[in-house]
Structure 1
Amino acid sequence: MKLLELGDSISRFRFSQSCVGLAGCLCVCYAVWTPFWLKERGLWTEWNNTKSDQTIRKDGPVFNALEAERVFGVLSFLMAVSTGALCLVFALCWTSTTVRSYSNTRSLLMAGQALYPTTLLLLTMACTGFFFLLSWSLFTYQHREEIRQDFSSLGSSYWLGALGWVLLLVVEMIIFIAEQAVVPDILPDLEKAVESWRISSKARSFSDSYHPAYSNMTP
């Protein structure tokens, strides 16, 4: 198996996206499970300020922002684990011969570019970054007064978390747009490949049906 195939622009863009995604996922995982958000406390710390923990609606249920940020944090962590594994697969195990295999080519032609590696990476990274951005934003909104009073109290988990969603949402989108502008569409080549496979399979089936009849002929 050939690793790190970087011979063409498609492979280089795929590898770049995988590296960006893996770095963003590691930042998200670190931020979710470490307590260094604000004054050595994080998402899983019990805060005493109940007024900032929830917002009450008179005509509706209580919205607990602390629970919401933890739920979105867990979702982003689960997405980060799966997205990181996907980045490793596309960076180390996906080659130009993989994408042009017969079964994958038929899937690409039936679903457009939805199954193409860079598009799939974009979708998974965007979901991961979006869920974590919700958790990060809720935490920032809850503790905005403390952050405003002492900006230096923000820890490594907070800043690496911010770096994580920036990589997954902003940098990844920039790389994907650049790829769409630089790399030509591969679907026409795949359509030609499928057509040639059909022609060759028809010719093979015709020859297989012709030779037995010829061999049974008596002189």
Structure 2
Amino acid sequence: MSTLLTKPLHRFSARHAARLPLMVTAALLVAMFSIGSVQYEGFFSAQVLLNVMIDNGFLLVVAIGMTFVVLTGGIDLSVGSVAALSTMLTAWLVEQNGLPLALAVPVVLLVGAGGGALMGWVIHAFEIQPFIVTLAGMFLARGLCYMISTESISVTDPTTTRIAQTRVLLPGGLFVSPAVVIALVVLVLAFVVLHHTRFGLTVYALGGNESSARL
């Protein structure tokens, strides 16, 4: 009996090995959502799922960036601290220095991209393990956050408040925030880059074998 059960499982896992992590993640999501729907009244609704995306849209963007890193066989421990530094720097520039949000956002993006590029250069130029370099980057970003302020900075900028309160209406009375739209656009762009560009193929090749990818 056990042999009859294990053989189909082995065939299934071999056939769908590449999709197995996604399938397990989807199954866990369905299971947790089902349990929550039973235990909490009003949990079983589409808006609840959309609220999760509203609260965590920025994490999707971070995860997309991390996907590129992981596919190359690397790791980045600094992403959380850099995200925190980005928010602290934005609040500091807008609230305490009076910089318009339209100028603060590009500055913060340049700082984040510059920090990532610097860590990438150190990893490549000195052949140091990404774990070590990004660990140092994590502590550096945390330290910079404390240098900016040891307390949270309240954001009262009208433009920021207006964007945060903006709703993108969907059919059925549902809604999402602009951050969700941005995250989904980034997701689509990342998919296109990874699967339909030379750069994306290079990313996969580096993750498989760096020496072969250089040929």
TM class, shorter-chain normalised? under 0.3
Higher helix share: 2
Higher relative contact order (CA 8 A, sep 6+): 1
Whose Rg is larger?
1
TM-score under structure 1 length normalisation: 0.27
TM-score under structure 2 length normalisation: 0.28
